[in-house]
Amino acid sequence: MSNLIKKRVNKWLMEHETVLKEYKAAFLSLWRNPLTKMGLILMGVLIFVAIFAPYLAPYPEQGLGKSNMEERLQPPGWRHLMGTDYYGRDILSRIIFGTRIALFAAVIVVAFALAIGIPTGLIAGYYGGKIDEIIMRVTDLFLAFPALLLAMVIAAFLGRSLMNALIALSVTWWPWYTRIIRNTVLSIKERDYVYAAKALGISDWKIILFFVLPNSLAPIIVQATIDMGTVILAEAGLAFLGLGSKAGSPDWGLMVYEGSAYITTHWWYSFFPGLAIFIGVLAFNLLGDALREFLDPKMRIRRWV
Amino acid sequence: MKDVLLSVEDLYLDFKTYEGIAKVLDGITFEVRKGEIFGIVGESGSGKSVTALSIMGLLPRNAIIRGGRIIFEGKNLLEDKSIYNRIRGKEITMIFQNPSSSLNPVFKVKDQMLNIIAHHLGYQEDEAYEYALDLLKKVELPDPERVLGSYPFELSGGMAQRVMIAMAISTKPKLLIADEPTTALDVTIQAQILNLLKRLNRDLNLTIIIITHDLGVISYMCDKVAVFYAGQVMEIGKVEEILLEPNHPYTKALLKAIPDPKWRGKSLPYIAGDVPILINPPTGCRFNPRCEYRKPICSEKKPKLIELNSGHLSACWLNERGV
């Protein structure tokens, strides 16, 4: 049985040898830059921590919210590496579980923004004219509306929860993507290969899908990566203001807020969650910068040297 | 006439620009017969490419057709845009100036070719692959399998142009418009591509319109040629007639300006004056401000194309009796 699997794997490796080599070369060229290396490592750690939170956290049940009144507001020490909070919960455990919330928020908001932003941007940019005008004015409408205000309105209507905060962020986030995609498409659609494709009689939607979209993706990939960091920050901000996660959930922003009342006497309470936010944002930003460099054709020569 | 494949009649076209309305085409008229190689020659901005794009129905948004007809196989393409869905890429195709940037950079040649073949002919994958190989052999690419597995950036300009030609002839079109197909290539490759086009014209009975500013290409390739200047047709005729016995003053001046090794050390002859700005073009014959035989009527009325002898037409008041 295992022999059969081995054979299959080998066959697959043989068939995809050149592609795998390309990926390997691409990865190695990314790995060479120390900042990129740091970004990749931080990113790997964040994802690892998020997946294995229950096994990594020293006190998993406290991480999820169980109080531990005997050890309230303990300073960092061997029992609690990052100290404990007002309810005696281990802050390290809570930060570890908070990674899940942060990454979840980042992925959901950016995925929603991409899902709406890419099609609208493509249509606006490619067809231009009236439909472009309509789509862009709608994005203006959304951009004119402050995210914070919208979050407050949504929280007031639907109640305070993580999901509602994410809805508020998503609704205010997608127009940026529409704009970026539209602007890229405007230049891509004038390229020779798009004209050549038209001259060969390829239909509009196929040109959009196979010629315009794949060639417009680079700036969006960069923006999406950096935005995941920004979303973590924004979500923490909403939580800090009491517009996000419900009290008791291990949300980094919420923990910073809870600790702010004790900041003069119990520094660790706010400091470590704040550090977690910083690391999360930094990881995505480093990765975004690396991708920007990697995807920029002008940098390509440097990349292969 | 029966064997006329395409005729452009009195095509007027404007471009809306920020500076004003540019009158880019001013009554373009010519006809292309089945099986011939028809050349369009002119300076930059003379309306060659715009004419090609109007035939393809690929004009930019700011272009306005003011009048005229483009008749392909008896149907006026300007009247019914829906015809294009049927003929563009199938019966009329076009290849462009920069072959290297005319292929989609993110897909392999194979994917692009199979896509086109499947799109137009509905072939299954294996069948389409065989056909693609066949086409690449037809355009004389050595090692077609390797080309199919390459990304466009791995191909040289000449190879990319051959791939473009292969894609263009995949649907067995009747008319191929080649817009400066060899301008971006070096001289040896240029000759190879031109020979290839000539052979395709003969073997597939493919009618070709070739647009260029290179009179050498015209004399090597074409049966007939139209000389464009500032959006007007100056002269049309068989290549030998145009090059050896030009009638129009512009054609004459153009031919005089071809450098000759005998002139080493002397300054090159040129046509005095500048190409007109088409937002405010000269009235009448647009060449009149630079013409050494200018008469008062030249700036008053546009001369008609007059048939001097069978198939040789020229638009000049000098040919008109009693002027």
The predicted structure's pLDDT at residue A1: 67
Is the Cβ pair A199, B95 closer than 8 Å? yes
The reply to whether A10 falls in a domain is: no
Q: Does B102 touch chain A (CB under 8 A)?
A: yes
Give the number of domains in chain B.
1
Please state the pTM of the whole predicted model: 0.81
Is the Cβ pair A201, B90 closer than 8 Å? yes
Confidence check: pLDDT of A274 > 90: yes
The predicted structure's pLDDT at residue A127: 92
The reply to whether B122 falls in a domain is: no
User: Among residues A124, A226, A215, A233, which one has the least CA distance to residue A169?
Assistant: A233
Mean pLDDT across A225-239: 91
Lowest pLDDT segment from A12-26, A72-86, B158-172: A12-26
Is the Cβ pair B90, A202 closer than 8 Å? no
What is the pLDDT confidence band of residue A301, given thresholds at 50, 70 and 90?
A: very low
Residue A196 to chain B, least CA–CA distance (Å): 6
The reply to whether A26 falls in a domain is: yes
Lowest pLDDT segment from A21-30, A128-137, B88-97: A21-30
Confidence check: pLDDT of A118 > 80: yes
Residue B97 to chain A, least CA–CA distance (Å): 9
What CATH number is attached to the domain comprising B226?
3.40.50.300
CB contacts < 8 A, A to B, total 65
Best B87, B90, B102 residue to mutate vs chain A (most A CBs within 10 Å)? B102
User: Among residues A152, A193, A196, A201, which one has the least CA distance to residue A172?
Assistant: A152
ipTM over 0.85: no
Confidence check: pLDDT of A101 > 90: yes
Highest mean pLDDT, choosing among A207-216, B181-190, B274-283: A207-216
The reply to whether A92 falls in a domain is: yes
Give the Cα separation of B273 and B289 in Å (integer). 8
Longest dimension (CA), chain A: 77
Confidence check: pLDDT of B323 > 60: no
The predicted structure's pLDDT at residue A296: 67
Is the Cβ pair B96, A211 closer than 8 Å? no
Angle subtended at Cα B230 by Cα B227 and Cα B231, rounded to the nearest 5 degrees: 75
Q: Does A214 touch chain B (CB under 8 A)?
A: yes
Mean pLDDT across B86-100: 90
**Domain interval for residue B281:** 4-82+92-97+212-319
Give the number of domains in chain A.
1
Best A200, A208, A215 residue to mutate vs chain B (most B CBs within 10 Å)? A200
Structure tokens at A9: 């794997």
Nearest residue of A to residue B88 by CA position? A201
What are the pLDDT digits (tens) for A120-140? 999 999 998 899 999 999 999
Mean pLDDT across A215-229: 91
The reply to whether A7 falls in a domain is: no
Q: Helix, strand or coil for residue B38?
A: strand
The reply to whether A129 falls in a domain is: yes
The reply to whether A2 falls in a domain is: no
Angle subtended at Cα A202 by Cα A196 and Cα A206, rounded to the nearest 5 degrees: 110
Nearest residue of A to residue B85 by CA position? A201
The reply to whether B260 falls in a domain is: yes
What CATH number is attached to the domain comprising A62?
1.10.3720.10
**Domain interval for residue A38:** 15-304
In the chain, the amino acid numbered A281 is: V
Residue A56 dihedral angles phi and psi, to the nearest 5°:
-90, -35
User: Among residues A303, A154, A203, A143, which one has the least CA distance to residue B120?
Assistant: A203
Residue A129 to chain B, least CA–CA distance (Å): 9
The reply to whether A249 falls in a domain is: yes
Burial classification of residue A76, based on how many CB atoms lie within 10 Å of its CB (0-12 exposed, 13-18 middle, 19 or more buried): middle
The predicted structure's pLDDT at residue A305: 38
Give the Cα separation of B301 and B297 in Å (integer). 6
The reply to whether A239 falls in a domain is: yes
The predicted structure's pLDDT at residue B182: 87
Report chain B's mean pLDDT, rounded to a whole number: 90
